[in-house]
Amino acid sequence: MPPVARRPLFALATGALAAPWIAGGARAQGNYPTRTVTVIVPFAAGGPTDTVTRLVAEAMGRDLGQTVVVENVGGAGGTLGAARVAQARPDGHTLLLHHIGMATAPTLYRRLPYDPVNGFETIGLVTEVPMTLVAKKDFPANTLAEAVEVIKREGDRLNYANAGIGAASHLCGLLLMKAVGTAMTTVPFRGTGPAVQEVLSGRIDLMCDQTTNTTEHINAGSMKVFNVTTAERVQSLPNVPTSKEAGLPEFEVSVWHGLYAPKGTPAEIQQRLSKALQAALRDEKLVARFADLGTAPVAQDRATPDAHRKFWQADIAKWKPIIQAAGQFAD
Ligand code: MLT
């Protein structure tokens, strides 16, 4: 296990350097993509972002007529992978698939090696994934109300896993601990892919994670689940109550994902990528797999650069006062 944090916490170069890249991208766009496209996942392999990205990449590759590969660059709550893409050549061959962390990082992190707001072009939204509060199999509670009692009683003797500050599992944990009024010991991982293994092995007590990473373990009976964090129940987990049904209505969050390119990627390439993303989100195999994992693609008119940018900017504005009021930063 990685080191334990005892407390729960809440450029692209422009000008001269950027110009040749932009010109190169513009020259290439007639027959774009000219080679393999890489999508960076800013979390570990085997986790929820990785799962969504691999499905999207495979289907986009069919539309683009090129292989789309996935590379995992985990760490620092997703900011290492985001930095890699912000600093990549803006020619459409290096992309980022990231989630709600893109809306919290601009306020949570004061010193990033890239511009977290203006360092990217948006391609389109992908999906909004419900979360689940899960626990190791022998956790001494069977309902959310009982879990809350255990958390109040045991406090920081309990280990709560997350994927670093600003990760969805971190935000969800904050909501839970705020609602309960008790802190647990936070154990950060490079992604919830490895973290979920620690819940399965019993070394981690509790974790909040996306249904794309927990559904199969829950349905196999290898971990406990207390609630889904959405207003409605999730089709793939029909017996799991919502937070409201389970008595904690304020414990509600879903994890939106979007596809990004480095700042300066030509508009024609953004549009081509958006078209490929829309095709991927209509792909029957992808839709069926998303449904198995408790989620669904966004509507086609949300998988566009404009809709994505507006949604992202609004979410940055939504999280800013919440993070500032908490008064805790990641750096
Ligand atoms: C992951 O892919 O590991 C997750 O999205 C991490 C998180 O945000 O909780």
Q: Are 163 and 191 in contact (CB under 8 A)?
A: yes
Domain boundary among 189, 211, 228: 228
Q: Is residue 108 part of a domain?
A: yes
Residue 187 domain-assigned (yes or no): yes
Looking at the structure, do residues 100 and 135 belong to the same domain, yes or no?
Answer: no
Domain co-membership, 22 together with 124:
yes
Tell me the angle at which helices 48-64 and 284-292 cross, rounded to the nearest 10 degrees. Answer: 170
How are beta strands 206-210 and 254-262 bridged, if at all? unpaired
Same domain? 37 vs 69: yes
47 φ, ψ (degrees, to nearest 5): -100, -175
Q: Answer yes or no: do 165 and 89 share one domain.
A: no
Residue that finishes a domain, picked among 175, 193, 228: 228
Tell whether ligand 1 has an atom less than 6 A from the beta carbon of residue 253.
no
Q: Is position 241 within any domain?
A: no
Q: Do 208 and 287 lie in a common domain?
A: no
The Cα–Cα gap between 325 and 200 comes to 35
* Angle, helices 211-219/48-64, rounded to nearest 10 degrees: 110
Q: Domain check: are 203 and 151 in the same one?
A: yes
In a domain, 170, yes or no: yes
Q: What is the CATH number of the domain that holds 164?
A: 3.40.190.10
pLDDT per residue as tens digits for the range 60-106: 999 999 999 999 999 988 999 999 999 999 999 999 999 999 999 99
Indicate if the alpha-carbon torsion angle 281, 286, 288, 294 is positive or negative: negative
Question: Could you tell me the residue range of the domain that residue 208 belongs to?
Answer: 131-228
pLDDT, tens digit (0-9, with 9 covering 90-100), for 266-318: 999 999 999 999 999 999 999 999 999 999 999 999 999 999 999 999 999 99
Angle between helices 267-282 and 305-326 in degrees, nearest 10: 90
Same domain, 21 and 76: yes
Domain match, 47 and 112 both: yes
DSSP letter for each residue of 206-264:
EEEEEHHHHHHHHHTTSSEEEEESSSS--TTSTTSPBTTTTT-TT---EEEEEEEEETT
| Number of the ligand 1 atom closest to the C-alpha atom of 48 | 2
The per-residue pLDDT for 13 is: 27
Mutate to test the pocket of ligand 1, among 43, 96, 208, 256 (most ligand atoms within 8 A of CB): 43
Pocket probe mutation, ligand 1, options 49, 174, 198, max atoms within 8 Å of Cβ: 49
Q: Does the pLDDT of residue 24 top 90, yes or no?
A: no
Ligand 1 contact, 47 CB (< 6 A):
yes
| Mean pLDDT taken over the chain | 90
- On whether residue 281 sits in a domain, the answer given is yes
Q: What is the CATH number of the domain that holds 309?
A: 3.40.190.150
Q: Do the beta carbons of residue 137 and residue 202 sit within 8 Å?
A: yes
Name the least confident of 8-22, 206-220, 239-253, 292-306.
8-22
Residue 243 lies in a domain: no
The residue from 210, 228, 246 where one domain ends is 228
Q: Encode 136-147: b = buried (16+ Cβ within 10 Å), e = exposed.
A: beebebeebeeb
- Does residue 185 fall inside a structural domain? yes
Q: Are residues 16 and 113 both part of a single domain?
A: yes
Instruction: Report how far ligand 1's centroid is from the alpha carbon of 29 (Å).
Output: 33
Token reading at 127? 């999906």
Mutate which of 73, 169, 172, 254 for ligand 1? The one with the most ligand atoms within 8 Å of its CB, which is 169
Tokens of 284: 């029957």
137 and 116, same domain (yes or no): no
Q: Which pair of structure tokens corresponds to residue 49? A: 């972002």
- Verify whether ligand 1 is closer than 6 Å to residue 188 (CB atom): no
Could you give phi then psi for residue 187, rounded to 5 degrees?
A: -120, 110
Alpha helices in the chain (DSSP H): 18-28, 48-64, 79-86, 101-108, 144-154, 168-180, 192-201, 211-219, 267-282, 284-292, 305-326
Count how many residues are written for the chain.
331
Q: pLDDT digits over 139-189, tens only?
A: 999 999 999 999 999 999 999 999 988 899 999 998 899 899 999 999 999
Other CB atoms within 10 A of residue 67 CB: 13
Specify if 1 maps to a domain: no
Q: Count the domains in the chain.
A: 2
Domain identity same for 13 and 103: yes
Task: Indicate whether 278 and 215 sit together in one domain.
Answer: no
Structure tokens at 289: 């797999």
